[in-house]
């Protein structure tokens, strides 16, 4: 009958559309590599899509980019920022920035699980903020925001039972993201209990992974060039030669230009935006009781370290300071900060992570910090003095000895006397 | 528990498509499965307002009972009496929850009223409309179940389009004829796919990719033009935001209309090529039409009659000017109690009043040129004025100037 013909004319295109979408997303596509230009944009974009994805990160690492793993400090892109220095002076390495406000060890652990094999015998710079080491550790809302289903599925389908794996799965289960997918949650629960994932779960996960891989492949190419343009503009303020003396002069000049309207040596624009008026009043002595010495973050960091060890990644760890004047004002304890620093270093050194840039004593230097807790002009420069030789010269192979005790609650709570 | 936000993800469309199949098959055979439809609507409402949105669910239940009481109570009263004071009281009481929800964030900065839930405005429009039509006598009998069905019609529950009770009820009481239903089906499929293009492609490009870029660029120009921040990037923000606003909302509206059509309900369209409007008046006949028609019928017209009946203003021109002002001021407040929404309302009131002057001038001077160039100029001017109003509406100036 006529009506039947009409109905096919109506739903025919729908079926075709659904089929086409299925083909695009479920069948492996391999849309080809992203362009060098996209790679360059992505390396400094701090885009959450790139962070959660796999395609661009893996390709960039294969092409020689060095991951700079950190958090909010990476967005402080003044002319002394590592990305600007590396671009301007055509260094043998180029940073690939991974991290934004709220990304801590646990987020990085999952977000890097698919790219770890690309990092085998390569180098990374890991900026560990003592501010991560709160009683709660990784904030669940931030975890949710940066949670990458793609990388987490990769992790799940490649998980081998170990103390680290169980710990990671248990931590994941405490995050709301773990509940976003019922079958995945069941698989994580299995892994947390030391069991293998079922074949049904594996089928589901690999199907979902295909979909996500294709989506990543398609969409991660859309990267904004805004930060790259910013970097290129910042380059113009640097001297022609890569000399510490000249760079220090520039850092001092830029620091002096940008600060001055407040007693903390905080960048004026930051002060106006975030602190001026009531805010600063409310923060007086507000951090008196802050304690970074006891935190699940220690074990979360251990997850990353164990992955670095497994893939023989050569890691340079940077521990930034707080702005000294600011710490005094807010009552943040020097002693506590030093203890935190010591505990982090103990954990690193006892396992063979010996390339450490400890800046925690430099927070009082002029123009070292851009604002309250983030490295700026001279801080970046000081870091560069160790990062540059580490990344440009060949390093002897690292020998890591991972110790499971760092996954224990005892270590998290240890006061490290 | 799971929570599904309306039209937000591919899975929502797959689930809704599967759940709709029995209804579609039924309507194709000329039957409406009322029980199944009711159950299905309830499930989707629970999915929207359940899970971690449960507090909204509680607010919704409370709100619905409250409106049931008011509209039901007024309908009962109206059967015998017709006092203006009671009518006014009923309207006021019906909008109290919405007023509380809108005013709370303005008084306590950053906090949301516990009475609020997704779609409270749209439910209020429907409830107030009932009271007004009961007063007029255009709705005679009040039946709780059809009223609930109308109020909670789930495709439009979160953001409209705003349907009318009598129209909705007429559609619902019968199943469309097969030829008619096939037409609806055909349109529904087209609207769904157009909606995908609007919301998930164009809306995404303008809103997620471009808007943060231009916003950042515009914020860097804070000091431009004597510290007013007026800059080219700000102009870019204005156009980008306008495009985003249209494609996002028009896309959503297309989904709501399409799903309604699949259920055999001809929910009215919300947009009709608004950027092709020749003047502001024309624009409001094309933009968020169900809202502007609601305002026209229940605020503009009523206020006009009120002024004429009580002879508060004699001059007809002044009457309509007053009515425009009240109309758009209320619309501004409805969007939210912030300076930029209120200025947005005032801006449109002024624009439409000026437009009225011009239209009268044109009528008196019949010899004015009229060709495609003048039409083009009219469209261009209207478009830019509208985009400027959306810049006010966006709240970006608030960030640019005061944050």
Instruction: Let me know if residue B3 belongs to a domain.
Output: no
Give the nearest partner residue to A7 out of B182, B193, B209, using CB atoms.
B182
Instruction: Show pLDDT as tens, one digit a residue, over chain B (403 residues).
Output: 466 788 888 888 988 999 999 999 999 999 999 999 999 999 989 888 887 788 899 999 999 999 999 999 999 999 999 999 999 999 999 999 999 999 998 888 767 888 889 899 999 999 999 999 999 999 988 999 999 999 999 999 989 899 999 999 999 998 999 999 999 999 999 999 999 999 999 999 999 888 988 988 888 787 778 778 888 999 999 999 999 999 999 999 999 999 999 999 999 999 999 999 999 999 999 999 999 999 999 999 999 999 999 988 889 999 999 999 999 999 999 999 999 999 999 999 999 999 999 999 999 998 899 999 999 999 999 999 999 999 999 999 998 888 7
Instruction: Let me know if residue A154 belongs to a domain.
Output: no
ipTM associated with this complex: 0.75
- Strand, helix or coil for residue A65: strand
pLDDT surpassing 90 at residue A273? no
> Which of A5, A10, A229 is the best mutation test for B, with the most CBs of B within 10 A?
A10
The last residue of one of the domains, among B159, B175, B191, is B175
Give the nearest partner residue to B182 out of A6, A17, A224, using CB atoms.
A6
End-to-end CA distance of chain B: 38
Residue A245 is part of which domain span? 33-145+224-413
Count H helices and E strands in chain B, helices first.
19, 0
Q: Do B276 and B145 lie in a common domain?
A: no
Per the structure, the count of domains in chain A is: 1
Instruction: Characterise A331 by phi-psi region: left (phi > 0), alpha (psi -120 to 50), beta (else).
Output: left
Instruction: Let me know if residue A203 belongs to a domain.
Output: no
Give the nearest partner residue to B189 out of A3, A10, A224, using CB atoms.
A10
Please count the other Cβ atoms lying within 10 Å of the Cβ belonging to residue A168. Answer: 27
Q: How many CB pairs below 8 A link A and B? A: 25
The last residue of one of the domains, among B175, B200, B223, is B175
Active-site positions of B read: 335
Instruction: Let me know if residue A190 belongs to a domain.
Output: no
CB spacing of B216 vs A226 below 8 angstroms: yes
From the list A235, A230, A229, A227, the residue with the least C-alpha distance to A87 is: A235
Instruction: Let me know if residue B246 belongs to a domain.
Output: yes
pLDDT surpassing 60 at residue A1? no
Instruction: Let me know if residue A189 belongs to a domain.
Output: no
Q: Do B195 and B161 lie in a common domain?
A: no
Q: Do B157 and B56 lie in a common domain?
A: yes
Q: Is A225 buried (19+), middle (13-18) or exposed (0-12) by CB count in 10 A?
A: middle
Q: Are strands A94-98 and A123-127 parallel, antiparallel or unpaired?
A: unpaired
CB spacing of A224 vs B209 below 8 angstroms: yes
From the list B300, B304, B388, the residue with the least C-alpha distance to B347 is: B388
Residue B128 is part of which domain span? 10-175
From the list B5, B25, B19, B35, the residue with the least C-alpha distance to B118 is: B5
Average pLDDT over all residues of chain A: 93
Mean pLDDT of A171-198: 93
pLDDT digits (tens, 9 = 90+) for A152-176: 999 999 999 999 999 999 999 999 8
Residues A379 and A368 sit within 8 Å (Cβ to Cβ)? yes
CB spacing of A6 vs B216 below 8 angstroms: no
How far A215 CA lies from chain B's nearest CA (Å)?
13
Q: Do B46 and B162 lie in a common domain?
A: yes
Contacts of B356-365 with C-beta under 8 Å, sequence gap 24+, read: B356/B281, B356/B317, B356/B320, B356/B321, B356/B324, B358/B279, B359/B279, B359/B281, B360/B317
How far B167 CA lies from chain A's nearest CA (Å)?
26
> Which of A1, A7, A15, A20 is the best mutation test for B, with the most CBs of B within 10 A?
A7
Q: Do B90 and B223 lie in a common domain?
A: no
Which two three-digit tokens encode residue B30? 């000329």
Instruction: Let me know if residue A392 belongs to a domain.
Output: yes
pLDDT at A417: 53
Q: Do B162 and B186 lie in a common domain?
A: no
pLDDT digits (tens, 9 = 90+) for A249-258: 999 999 999 9
CB spacing of A10 vs B193 below 8 angstroms: no
Q: Do B201 and B243 lie in a common domain?
A: yes
Instruction: Let me know if residue A219 belongs to a domain.
Output: no
Chain A: residues touching B (Cβ < 8 Å)? 3, 6-7, 9-11, 13-14, 17, 222, 224, 226
> Nearest chain A Cα to B14, which residue?
A18
d(CA A150, CA A220): 13
Residues B178 and B28 sit within 8 Å (Cβ to Cβ)? yes
Residues B160 and B122 sit within 8 Å (Cβ to Cβ)? yes
From the list A335, A301, A325, A297, the residue with the least C-alpha distance to A315 is: A301
Q: Do B187 and B158 lie in a common domain?
A: no
Q: Do B196 and B93 lie in a common domain?
A: no
CATH of the domain at A293: 3.40.50
The last residue of one of the domains, among B114, B146, B175, is B175
How far A25 CA lies from chain B's nearest CA (Å)?
13
Q: Do B328 and B237 lie in a common domain?
A: yes
Chain B: residues touching A (Cβ < 8 Å)? 28, 178-179, 182, 185-186, 189, 193, 209, 212-213, 216-217
- Could you identify the residue written with the tokens 């001279």? A378
Per the structure, the count of domains in chain B is: 2
Q: Do B224 and B362 lie in a common domain?
A: yes
CB spacing of A7 vs B193 below 8 angstroms: no
Q: Do B82 and B129 lie in a common domain?
A: yes
Instruction: Let me know if residue B4 belongs to a domain.
Output: no
């Amino acid at each position: 009958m006529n009506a039947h013909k009409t109905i096919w004319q109506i739903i025919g295109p729908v079926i075709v559309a659904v089929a086409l979408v299925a083909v695009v997303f479920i069948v492996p596509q391999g849309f080809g590599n992203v362009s060098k230009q996209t790679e360059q944009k992505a390396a400094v974009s701090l885009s959450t899509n790139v962070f959660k994805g796999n395609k661009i990160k893996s390709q960039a690492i294969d092409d020689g980019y060095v991951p700079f793993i950190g958090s909010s400090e990476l967005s402080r892109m003044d002319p002394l920022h590592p990305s600007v220095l590396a671009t301007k002076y055509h260094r043998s390495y180029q940073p690939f920035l991974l991290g934004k406000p709220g990304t801590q060890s646990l987020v990085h652990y999952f977000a890097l699980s698919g790219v770890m094999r690309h990092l085998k015998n390569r180098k990374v710079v890991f900026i560990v903020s003592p501010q991560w080491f709160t009683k709660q550790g990784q904030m669940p809302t931030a975890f949710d925001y940066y949670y990458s289903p793609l990388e987490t599925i990769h992790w799940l389908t490649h998980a081998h039972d170990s103390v680290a794996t169980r710990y990671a799965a248990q931590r994941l289960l405490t995050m709301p993201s773990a509940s976003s997918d019922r079958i995945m949650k069941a698989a994580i629960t299995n892994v947390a209990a030391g069991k293998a994932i079922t074949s049904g779960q594996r089928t589901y996960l690999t199907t979902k992974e295909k979909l996500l891989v294709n989506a990543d492949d398609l969409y991660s190419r859309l990267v904004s060039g805004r930060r790259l343009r910013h970097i290129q503009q910042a380059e113009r303020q640097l001297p022609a030669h890569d000399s510490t003396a000249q760079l220090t002069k520039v850092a001092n000049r830029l620091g002096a230009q940008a600060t001055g309207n407040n007693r903390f040596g905080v960048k004026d624009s930051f002060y106006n935006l975030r602190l001026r008026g009531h805010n600063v009043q409310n923060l007086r002595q507000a951090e008196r009781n802050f304690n970074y010495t006891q935190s699940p973050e220690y074990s979360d960091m251990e997850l990353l370290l164990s992955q670095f060890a497994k893939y023989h990644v050569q890691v340079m760890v940077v521990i930034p300071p707080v702005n000294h004047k600011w710490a005094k004002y807010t009552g943040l304890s020097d002693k506590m900060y030093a203890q935190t620093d010591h505990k982090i270093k103990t954990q690193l050194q006892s396992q063979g992570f010996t390339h450490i840039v400890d800046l925690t004593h430099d927070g009082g230097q002029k123009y070292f910090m851009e604002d309250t807790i983030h490295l700026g002009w001279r801080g970046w420069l000081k870091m560069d003095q160790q990062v540059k030789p580490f990344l440009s010269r060949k390093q002897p192979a690292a020998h890591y000895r991972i110790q499971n005790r760092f996954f224990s609650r005892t270590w998290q709570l240890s006061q490290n006397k | 528990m799971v929570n599904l936000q309306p039209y937000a993800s591919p899975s929502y469309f797959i689930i809704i498509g599967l759940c709709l199949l029995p209804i579609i098959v039924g309507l194709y055979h000329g039957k409406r499965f009322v029980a199944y439809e009711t159950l299905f609507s309830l499930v989707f409402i629970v999915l929207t307002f359940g899970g971690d949105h449960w507090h909204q669910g509680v607010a919704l239940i409370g709100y619905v009972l409250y409106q049931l009481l008011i509209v039901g109570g007024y309908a009962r009263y109206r059967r015998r009496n017709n006092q203006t004071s009671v009518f006014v009281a009923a309207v006021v009481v019906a909008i109290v929850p919405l007023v509380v929800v809108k005013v709370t964030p303005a008084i306590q900065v950053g906090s949301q009223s516990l009475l609020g839930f997704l779609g409270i405005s749209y439910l209020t429009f429907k409830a107030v409309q009932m009271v007004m039509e009961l007063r007029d006598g255009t709705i005679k009998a009040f039946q709780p179940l059809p009223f609930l069905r109308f109020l909670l019609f789930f495709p439009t529950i979160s953001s409209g389009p705003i349907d009318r009770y009598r129209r909705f009820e007429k559609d619902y009481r019968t199943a469309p004829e097969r030829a008619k239903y096939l037409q609806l089906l055909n349109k529904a499929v087209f609207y769904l796919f157009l909606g995908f293009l609007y919301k998930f492609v164009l809306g995404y490009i303008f809103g997620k990719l471009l808007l943060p870029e231009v916003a950042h660029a515009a914020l860097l120009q804070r000091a431009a033009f004597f510290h007013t921040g007026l800059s080219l990037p700000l102009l870019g923000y204005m156009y980008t935001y306008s495009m985003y606003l249209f494609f996002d909302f028009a896309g959503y509206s297309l989904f709501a209309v399409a799903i309604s059509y699949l259920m055999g309900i001809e929910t009215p369209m919300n947009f009709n090529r608004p950027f092709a409007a020749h003047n502001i008046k024309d624009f409001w006949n094309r933009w968020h039409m169900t809202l502007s028609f609601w305002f026209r019928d229940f605020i503009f017209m009523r206020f006009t009659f009120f002024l004429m009946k009580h002879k508060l203003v004699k001059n007809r021109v002044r009457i309509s000017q007053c009515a425009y002002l009240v109309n758009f001021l209320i619309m501004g407040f409805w969007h939210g109690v912030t300076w930029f929404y209120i200025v947005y309302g005032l801006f449109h009131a002024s624009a439409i009043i000026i437009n009225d002057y011009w239209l009268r001038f044109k009528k008196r001077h019949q010899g004015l040129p009229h060709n495609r160039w003048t039409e083009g100029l009219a469209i261009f001017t209207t478009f830019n004025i509208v985009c400027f109003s959306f810049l006010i509406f966006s709240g970006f100036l608030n960030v640019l100037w005061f944050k």
